[in-house]
A and B are shown apart, each in its own frame.
Chain A
Amino acid sequence: MEQNLQKKLETAANNIRILSIEGVYHAKSGHPGGSLSIADIMAYLYFYKMNQSSSDPKDPDRDRFVLSKGHGAPALYSALALNGYFPIEDMKLLREKNSYLQGHPDMNKINGVDMTTGSLGQGISAACGMALAGKTKGKSYKTYCVIGDGEMQEGQVWEAAMFAAHYKLGSLTVFADNNDLQIDGNVRDVMNVHPIGEKFKAFGWHVIEIDGHDFDAIDAAVTAAEKDERPTAIVCKTIKGKGVSYMENEAGWHGKAPGKELYEQAMLELGELVL
């Protein structure tokens, strides 16, 4: 990857992390850990890959994005705000009463949110629907979806996996955010979802396993996905809480906000927004 692009994506990902923490801190609740683990994927999609624009958020030919792990809303909202879908300052309204920035993404309240999500397992099915509608109508848009590893305990994920392969939804690319943690602990202890890649392969998917914080690897995987007629699952090994030292690999930071002191520490570690 070109150095300029690499730098741009690093900056975007850091901005997403800063705004995610800002939002969760002001809301005094929310899901920081799983927002930080997908920040690099979101930066790649919203600052490089996806054909989307805040000037035409309902463009029928735009690429679609579904955050099936809807609790990662702070990362999605940050990516949208940084793309001009709404003012960056509004990240402080996250989860507030009457705010359009709902706890989980609402397609009718926020331009740029392509599907309402929050109940795990449903977003990947909706992404299948978008890809199938596009394929049937001869559209060339791509559909991207991020699912969590804990989310894969929902049986619906595997119904969707069967469906996508059956209908050869080659325009569908699913990022599996494998940070290995869920609310009650390690996914291996709560209900083992591994081996993730092997499961998708068995369902007939094109599978690539990468480091989900490596932009070169993400780009290579998405490029390979575009050349394959099967739906692609990019299994991303990620670090929950990535970028904030005390949150990294700590299940406890799945769904809790930092207090003032820890917020300030996080901001010191992440640095300033670079716009």
Chain B
Amino acid sequence: MAEKKATRMGYGEALADLGSKYDFFVMDADLSKSTMTDLFRQKHPDRFFNSGIAEANMMSVAAGMASTGTPVFVSSFAMFVCERAFEQIRNSVAYPHLNVKIGASHAGITVGEDGATHQCNEDIALIRSLPGVTIINPADAVEAYAAVEAALKIDGPVYLRLGRYAVPTVFDKETYEFRPGEAVVLEDGSDVAIMATGIMVAEALEARRLLKEEGIDAAVINVHTIKPLDKDTIVKYAEKCKYVVTAEEHSIIGGLGSAVCEAVAESCDARVLRIGINDEFGHSGPAGELINQFELNGAAVAEKIKKFLGK
């Protein structure tokens, strides 16, 4: 877990590499050097199209391109590619079930200094409500890289949630096999099951380490695919541990926390603690400091879990 790298880097590198192997288009809305689609543009300029700062149009253009049989990746910050263009995603992409893959970078509060207008903490909630859209929230750059190829192989829309902030690399690029829809049990445990997604996976692993020192045995499950949700694994661990904690860099409303609550409430008796952004807007600051301030770091997660378990 030495190297730190942002998930958007894995995304951009994968696009550039896979562009030589697969036929697809890439679009961006004037943020290609931030979303990293510029890496694709440099290698495959004839298949890259900038829409300018016009995300709504970009989304529907991508739908039209995809209708001709070639998949399209569209990228911008999550705030704009998801939230501004949400109705275009709904009606131009999701309803016709077209092969548009949305690479939404700069998700969550770790956008940092840009502040609340750019900190997207609601996108999972929004996209999760759309039938037939796969949501993948990679934990690190290795998983993000793998998710791009997986997205190409999925028939229909895919939402890839990516971050700006460099996070610890959890997986080994050489050996990691990414399977969409299958939650990954990274660490087994019996006292509490931490179900984490995106950059919170590394924090969950740190929380587990800290809890272990205090005699608490926490399982850590990487829920990289939020939709379709791996209910079997989630319910299995809820039944086993009886205490479930969700960890996400997203509002506690509508995201992984809600999805897990729904799955657990329908199937078994377990208590769920949702860790995330507590129904508030973010603000400016260095990403790492915001992680601490919003109590999303491993130590804060561990503290919350101890309280949750009454210890």
Residues of A within 8 A of B (CB): 60, 66, 106-108, 114-116, 118-119, 121-123, 125-134, 136-137, 155-156, 159-160, 162-163, 166-167
The answer on a CB contact under 8 Å between A159 and B57 is yes
Chief secondary structure at chain A's binding surface: helix
8 contacts between A and B (CB under 8 A): A107-B96, A108-B97, A116-B92, A125-B64, A128-B64, A129-B63, A129-B65, A160-B61
The answer on a CB contact under 8 Å between B64 and A133 is yes
Given A107-B96, A108-B97, CB of A162 within 8 Å of CB of B52: yes
The answer on a CB contact under 8 Å between A132 and B65 is yes
The docked-state distance in angstroms from the alpha carbon of A114 to that of B68 is 9
Q: Cβ of B281 < 8 Å from any Cβ of A?
A: no
Q: Chain B 71-100 against A: per-residue CB contact (8 Å), 1 yes, 0 no?
A: 010000000000000011001100111000
The answer on a CB contact under 8 Å between A136 and B46 is yes
The answer on a CB contact under 8 Å between A163 and B96 is no
The answer on a CB contact under 8 Å between A163 and B92 is no
The answer on a CB contact under 8 Å between A136 and B63 is no
The answer on a CB contact under 8 Å between A122 and B67 is no
The answer on a CB contact under 8 Å between B96 and A129 is no
In the complex, besides A130-B68, A163-B51, 9 extra interface pairs with C-beta distance below 8 angstroms are A60-B68, A66-B64, A107-B67, A107-B96, A122-B60, A129-B66, A136-B46, A159-B54, A160-B60
- Report B-chain residues with C-beta under 8 Å of the C-beta of A137: 68, 70
- Report A-chain residues with C-beta under 8 Å of the C-beta of B51: 159, 163
- Report B-chain residues with C-beta under 8 Å of the C-beta of A121: 56, 60
The docked-state distance in angstroms from the alpha carbon of A129 to that of B61 is 4
* Contact of A116 (CB < 8 Å), options: B46, B49, B62, B96: B96
- Report B-chain residues with C-beta under 8 Å of the C-beta of A127: 64
The answer on a CB contact under 8 Å between B65 and A130 is yes
The answer on a CB contact under 8 Å between A115 and B67 is yes
Q: How far is the CB of B153 from chain A (nearest CB, A)?
A: 20
Q: How far is the CB of B76 from chain A (nearest CB, A)?
A: 14
Q: How far is the CB of A134 from chain B (nearest CB, A)?
A: 7
The answer on a CB contact under 8 Å between B25 and A115 is no
Q: Cβ of B306 < 8 Å from any Cβ of A?
A: no
- Report B-chain residues with C-beta under 8 Å of the C-beta of A134: 68
